[in-house]
């Protein structure tokens, strides 16, 4: 817990393939952290794990992750692309609170993950494009915390879709 907290000189991290969870507060306040590679072995991201990592611009949540903790990415205010693969079941309270630069959110789950209060607080949901799997529009349109996003269904390559509408 909090092993690298407030490590201002840390700019990039590639986590070990043997890692199964990202501890709470491990990178809390690492404001220069710009790049994180989360391995496919990770199943959960702890509370406040990347909170205050204001240098992060994108994050890829791999397929085995089922839970994103409370305030996990809070105040990552340069985060502009988030890709969440299909096994995420829950996104805790304030997980992406304060991610005001977010303009592309990909959620590959056909069933929208359950979200805690303020999971997406501070995100302009009319400007941020939510990419969802084809055929899942009705589920997202009626789900709390998801229904207010501008959405776009996709078929095929998610990353190509995101890059096609990327606004710089």
Tokens matching residue 138: 């009705």
**What pLDDT does 165 receive?**
46
Helix, strand or coil for residue 58? strand
pLDDT tens, the chain, 168 aa long? 667 877 888 899 989 899 999 999 999 999 999 999 999 999 999 999 999 999 999 999 999 999 999 999 999 999 999 999 889 999 999 999 999 999 999 999 999 999 999 999 999 999 998 999 888 989 999 999 999 998 777 766 665 555 554 443
Residues 110, 92, 74: CA angle, nearest 5 degrees: 110
């Amino acid at each position: 817990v909090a092993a690298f907290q407030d490590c201002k000189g840390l700019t990039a991290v590639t986590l070990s393939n043997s890692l199964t969870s990202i501890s709470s507060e491990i990178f809390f306040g690492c404001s220069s952290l710009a790049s994180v590679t989360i391995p496919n072995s990770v199943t959960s991201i702890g509370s406040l794990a990347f909170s205050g990592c204001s240098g992060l611009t994108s994050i890829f949540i791999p397929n085995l992750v089922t839970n994103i903790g409370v305030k996990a990415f809070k105040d990552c205010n340069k985060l502009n692309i988030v890709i969440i693969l299909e096994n995420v079941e829950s996104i805790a309270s304030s997980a992406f609170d304060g991610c005001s630069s977010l303009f592309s959110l990909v959620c590959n789950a056909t069933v929208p993950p359950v979200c805690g209060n303020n999971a997406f607080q501070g995100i302009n949901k009319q400007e941020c494009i939510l990419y969802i799997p084809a055929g899942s529009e009705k589920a997202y349109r009626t789900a709390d915390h998801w229904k207010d996003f501008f959405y776009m269904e996709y078929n095929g390559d998610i990353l190509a879709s995101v890059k096609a509408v990327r606004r710089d």
